[in-house]
Chains A and B, each alone.
Chain A
Amino acid sequence: MSFSVSLRDVTLTYGDTEALSDVDLTLAAGKIHGLLGRNGAGKTSLLSLLAAFRKPTGGEVLVDGRPVWENVDVVSRIALVREGGDFDDTDTVKSTIETGELRPSFDLEYAHKLAQRFEVPLDKKVNQLSRGKRSVLAAICGLAARAELTMFDEVHLGMDAPTRDAFYKELLAEYMDRPHTVILSTHLIDEVANYLEEVVIVDSGRVLRHDDVEAFQGMGATLTGPADAVDALAAGLEVLAEQRLGGTKSVTVGSALDASARERAAAAGIEIGPVGLQDLFIHLTNPDRTGA
């Protein structure tokens, strides 16, 4: 069973600062969702509400259709893994992993298997681990929780590229093996783009956009071909990014191409590809565009 998520008119304030404002959001169960936003956009605040780390100032947070705050049946099946993990630094890796057994669903054998695979030494203390290994330990605890809603908040920080790749693959394998709801909050958008099914973009404490990945990719296009032909086709369109290598140019435009534009592109030898999620994200959250 996977958990759906629903926030209704949710507001969260820290003193005078409004971290989230009137957020209405529904996330379908059994999917991998990407949560994107600039620094301070409200991603961590949103995840903290879903894991009942915080109580909203206003509105309602429902997970699996039930209020999440102090709801033992729900929170015991939610895992929020924050960057660096929530550990007692003086504990050993072994006992840190074993703390996970507070969850009835925790899979200790799987956690040990992952620790061996990612070369995290069980006998070391957490405060003796490098930042990367600490992040791996947090990821291991999140995966082995076998939760119905698992959220990773910048958990990749400190991991090197091969480790991040292995983590994403393990996450996907676990997801395929046991369908559940996953939310990935990250700044490494291009790295995770292929794993995401839906994307939520938050900006200045509000949900700016929520759609499936295909819809985002259809919001623009990448035109690659002879520089002159690409420039001619892109004229009048909103250019999000461009690269040039010799006589070849690649331009990302922020609007879908109509049938005639596609015909002209084909005639001019221009390849049309989907827009990169990262380029689109940068475009959508540009302060000049959003008026922030």
Chain B
Amino acid sequence: MSNSTLAGRRYSLGLGLFTESVKFFAGWILAAIVLAVVVPFIVSQWNSIEISAWAVAANVGKYLVAIIAGGYIYTLLPITVAQGMTRREYATSMGVFGLLWSLMIGALAVAGFLGERALYGALDWTQAIQQGDDVQLAIGSFGDALEFAAVYPLAYLLYFTAGAVIGAAIYRSDGGWLVLVPVIPVTLLADDAMTAGGPWGPGWLVRFVSGATDTWSVWVGVAVTLVVIVTGALIARRIIIDSPIRPKQA
């Protein structure tokens, strides 16, 4: 990143974080793609394929996006303030990065579901999302795949915001991890309301919210998710702006 102007550096930092992250995580993303293709081929030697492998990769991605958001805030906030940035500028940079990153990973997720639809269709495999022990949501066409995957960019932004709130709170104070108590159920609830396949994660966590939003339409779920994202972004920004830079550890 070459010398920035004061007015533009918050945006150029956000863009820089995005391009550097793409380079850094390119190997991880490639590995996820390869695994999502190779594993079904291996499993198909013994069993019929009835579950979307890409759905697993795409859902693991939600948690990774949250970890990246929290990790970046925890690590980079003191560094950027030490480089003469204000906390407001840094919060804006993270906002720019979060939008770009969620959009990029979301587009990749959509492309992955469509590609998998083509592969599974050619091999006569069943592309389905496991919702419970027995219930599965079948994806029978490219239209189904697109409809199912379309909310993923927003879902990634939701998890990015959740990670940002958690990372900022943990940096702000030693007891900041307590923010996990409201953030996790609210995030899973919004994800459940918006995603046809429901939230994904450890069963004991998912049980908190499963079923609570069954009567909501996808559009209500999207609206709820947008409200959660905006609220979460404002909370994360407020915490960042109020955070003292921690003393150095000897």
Contact B244–A70 (Cβ < 8 Å)? no
Bound together, the chains give a CA A21 to CA B76 distance in angstroms of 31
Q: A48's contact among B2, B9, B87, B245, by CB below 8 Å, is which?
A: B245
Q: B83's contact among A53, A102, A108, by CB below 8 Å, is which?
A: A102
Interface centre among A75, A76, A78, A102 (most CB of B within 10 A): A102
A window 56-109: CB within 8 A of B: 70-73, 75-80, 82-84, 86-88, 98-106, 108
Check if A277 is an interface residue, CB within 8 A of chain B: no
Contacts of B207 in A (CB 8 A): none
With A75-B85, A76-B84, A88-B75: A102-B4 Cβ-Cβ less than 8 Å: yes
Check if A120 is an interface residue, CB within 8 A of chain B: no
With A53-B245, A102-B13, A106-B3: A70-B86 Cβ-Cβ less than 8 Å: yes
Contact B6–A84 (Cβ < 8 Å)? no
Interface centre among A70, A86, A147 (most CB of B within 10 A): A86
Q: How far is the CB of B88 from chain A (nearest CB, A)?
A: 6
With A48-B245, A88-B75: A75-B84 Cβ-Cβ less than 8 Å: yes
With A70-B88, A73-B6: A103-B245 Cβ-Cβ less than 8 Å: no
Check if A55 is an interface residue, CB within 8 A of chain B: yes
Check if A54 is an interface residue, CB within 8 A of chain B: yes
Contacts of B79 in A (CB 8 A): 86-88, 99
- Chain B residue, CB-CB nearest to A54: B244
Binary contact readout B225-250 vs A (1 if CB under 8 angstroms, 0 otherwise): 00000000000000001001101100
Contacts of A102 in B (CB 8 A): 1, 4, 9, 13, 80, 83-85
Count A-B contacts at CB 8 Å: 82
Contacts of A77 in B (CB 8 A): 84
Contacts of A51 in B (CB 8 A): 82
Bound together, the chains give a CA A83 to CA B250 distance in angstroms of 9
Q: Count of A residues near B, CB < 8 Å?
A: 35
Check if A183 is an interface residue, CB within 8 A of chain B: no
Check if B78 is an interface residue, CB within 8 A of chain A: yes
Contact B89–A72 (Cβ < 8 Å)? yes
Contacts of A80 in B (CB 8 A): 82
- Chain A residue, CB-CB nearest to B76: A88
Binary contact readout B1-27 vs A (1 if CB under 8 angstroms, 0 otherwise): 111111001000100000000000000
Q: B5's contact among A48, A73, A104, A106, by CB below 8 Å, is which?
A: A104
Q: A101's contact among B2, B89, B241, by CB below 8 Å, is which?
A: B2
Check if B81 is an interface residue, CB within 8 A of chain A: yes
Check if A189 is an interface residue, CB within 8 A of chain B: no
Contact A53–B244 (Cβ < 8 Å)? yes
Q: B84's contact among A55, A70, A78, A88, by CB below 8 Å, is which?
A: A78
Bound together, the chains give a CA A63 to CA B5 distance in angstroms of 21
Q: A44's contact among B3, B6, B247, by CB below 8 Å, is which?
A: B247
Binary contact readout A106-144 vs B (1 if CB under 8 angstroms, 0 otherwise): 101000000000000000000000000000000000000
Contact B3–A101 (Cβ < 8 Å)? yes
Contact A52–B3 (Cβ < 8 Å)? no
B window 85-106: CB within 8 A of A: 85-89
Contacts of B248 in A (CB 8 A): 82-84, 86
Which residues of A are in contact with B by a Cβ distance under 8 Å?
44, 48, 51-55, 70-73, 75-80, 82-84, 86-88, 98-106, 108, 145, 147
Supply 30 A–B pairs (Cβ within 8 Å), ascending by A: A48-B245, A48-B247, A52-B86, A53-B82, A53-B244, A54-B245, A70-B87, A70-B88, A72-B89, A75-B84, A76-B6, A78-B84, A80-B82, A82-B82, A84-B248, A86-B78, A86-B79, A86-B81, A86-B245, A87-B79, A88-B75, A88-B76, A88-B79, A101-B2, A102-B4, A102-B83, A103-B83, A104-B4, A108-B3, A147-B84
Further contacts, 10 of them, CB under 8 A, given A75-B84, A98-B1, A99-B83: A52-B86, A70-B88, A77-B84, A83-B248, A84-B248, A86-B79, A88-B79, A103-B84, A108-B3, A147-B84
